[in-house]
Structure 1
Amino acid sequence: MIDIKRRTRNLHAKYGTSDPFKLAACLNVTVLHLELPQSVKGYCQRLLRRKFIIINAQLEEEEQRFICAHELGHIVLHKGVNHYFVQKETNFVIGKFERQANEFAVKLLAVGERMEHGEQLESFLLRCGVPRDMHAYYL
């Protein structure tokens, strides 16, 4: 079983950041912002031994950050497979790989951050850039 919490902590400790764009650069992953169909938020791809994360340029900056973290999760956890982050309004079933990438993204964005005294978990995760519908992946 994959220990996602440990993977995110190790990345943070090794590179001194939890910023998915900086981590992508450290891991030699090229991040491209392109105009994509509205239903596609982003995807990762390996091509000729190079790794790419493609993010829908039409998304808000905060959402792009989460998508980058999610796709980085696929690259770190699911070597050799290409993945697409599709809006949940489609009929695609969220499988094991998608759940793991969501968990990776949530834990990566929160690693190294501390809850302030009296701060609620929801407020903490929002401050870390975790979308409200992804909060369950923190637990």
Structure 2
Amino acid sequence: MLRVNNMDELINNLITKYKTNNPFELARALGIHIRFMDLGTGTKGLYYRKLRRRFIVIHNGLPAEWQRFVCAHELGHDRLHKGINRFFLEEHSFFSPGKLERQANLFAVKLLSSGTLPDHDEAVKSYYLRIGIPPEVRFFLED
């Protein structure tokens, strides 16, 4: 299993090298093609490889903060789960989305929150809203 310290180091190295925590800029810098498409009601995004090319596809009907989170999530799959195509499916309940999905969610939250700490006594929901992470994401991180 991936250790959290390794994930932190991976994220810090990306941010240091490319001088941004913006998942769209990071994906472009890494040569990952980003596409926006109508993926229907159940899919927020997906990551796949085809003929050595890597793609992140994001549902074009999502609000901007969700598009940003999904891009970060799919970037997590690229960095953490090399060679595995995974779909980030909309959860209709708060059941555990599986180990690889939890890791990609944690990667996304760590990437997007890098350099920004919660204020003293700030609720998670308020913190997420302030830094542009959909507040529903906190449920995806729990087992």
Higher RCO structure (Cα 8 Å, ≥6 apart): 1
Task: Give the gaps of 5 or more residues in structure 1.
Answer: none
> Residue 43 of structure 1 aligns to a residue in which SS?
strand
**Match for residue 50 of structure 1 among 47, 50, 53:** 53
Distance, in Å, in 1 between the alignment partners of 2:96 and 2:137 is 16
Superposition misfits of 4+ residues, deviation over 4 angstroms: none
Identify the residue that residue 101 of structure 1 maps to in structure 2. Answer: 104
Deviations 1:27-74 (A, max 9, x none): 100000011111010000000000000000011111100000000000
State which drifts further: 107-116 or 80-89: 107-116
TM-score, normalised on structure 1? 0.88
Task: Give the gaps of 5 or more residues in structure 2.
Answer: none
Kindly tell me the number of residue pairs found equivalent between the two proteins. Answer: 136
Identify the residue that residue 26 of structure 1 maps to in structure 2. Answer: 29
Displacement after TM superposition at 1:124 (Å): 2.5
Compute the RMSD of aligned alpha carbons.
2.0
Q: Within 5 Å, which residues of 2 pair with 1:1-139?
A: 1-2=1-2, 3-89=6-92, 94-116=97-119, 118=120, 120-122=122-124, 123-135=126-138, 137=141
Percentage identity across aligned positions?
43
TM-score, normalised on structure 2? 0.86
AA aligned opposite 2:104? A
Distance, in Å, in 2 between the alignment partners of 1:10 and 1:127 is 24
Distance, in Å, in 2 between the alignment partners of 1:21 and 1:63 is 13
